[in-house]
Amino acid sequence: MIRVREFRPVLPVAIALFLGLAPSFLSAQVPPRFYWKTLEGTNAVPLIYMSMSGNANPLDPANVIGADVDIEAEVLIVGYGKIFSLGDRAAMLAILQTVGRADANLLVDGLGASEKATGFGDPMVEFTVNLIGPPTIRNIPDMLRYEPGFSLDLLVDLGFPIGEYDAESPVNLSQNRWYGRLGAPIVWQLGAWVPGRRTTLEFLPSVWFYGDNDDLGGSRLATDP
């Protein structure tokens, strides 16, 4: 089990759009509103701090080291994102980079051991484009006339395995393998576009895909989608 405590200082108005760009350990904690549409040309600089603990590597939750392992990690995620249009469809391209540390305490056959990892994790790129929904918000008058209704996006994430990795250590900031996600974020606004007079339903059906880590302490780690 991984427990996550988050502190998210808000920089630009579009900060919530990019909280879902963190690696897959965050996919269960994505907050509401981050796939709501905003003004074309908006730039965002996300800054996300997390403190995590559990018996799996928080940066690679498919790698469960063991029930008698206690891992604590502190991670800072920074990046840049841009809202633009493809035709009359809203789109977003962003990149995030993790940096931090992870400490593991292991108990094997009654003997204790510790491992530590520090440095940079794997950068991730995300692209989203709206398929069904209102056209791009190009200016302030468009924003004043904006009626969201039903919105369906295509989401593509790709993680690059170039972070710090030590094959002999069970704890790393990099997964040492390619991984990514295909998703279809859905936002359905019911009622008038007036605060307090609408209900919003949000869904994020998605599938994570993983390559193989062929250098895991002399063994190979494979994970099904």
- pLDDT value of residue 220: 87
The predicted structure's pLDDT at residue 79: 86
What's residue 27's pLDDT?
42
The DSSP symbol for 12 reads S
Sequence-ordered list of residues with C-beta below 8 angstroms from that of 172, at least 6 positions apart, any chain: 57, 59, 60, 102, 117, 163, 164, 165, 166
With a cut of 50, list the residues of the chain below it in pLDDT. 1-29
Tens digits of residue pLDDT in 21-58 = 344 444 434 556 778 888 899 898 878 888 877 777 66
- Please report the pLDDT score of residue 35 as a whole number: 80
Structural domains counted in the chain: 1
Domain that holds residue 67: 2-221
Task: Write down the pTM of the prediction.
Answer: 0.75
DSSP-derived pairing of the beta strands 2-7 and 47-54 = antiparallel
Question: Which one, of 12, 8, 11, lies nearest residue 20 by Cα?
Answer: 8
Q: Identify the pLDDT of residue 7.
A: 37
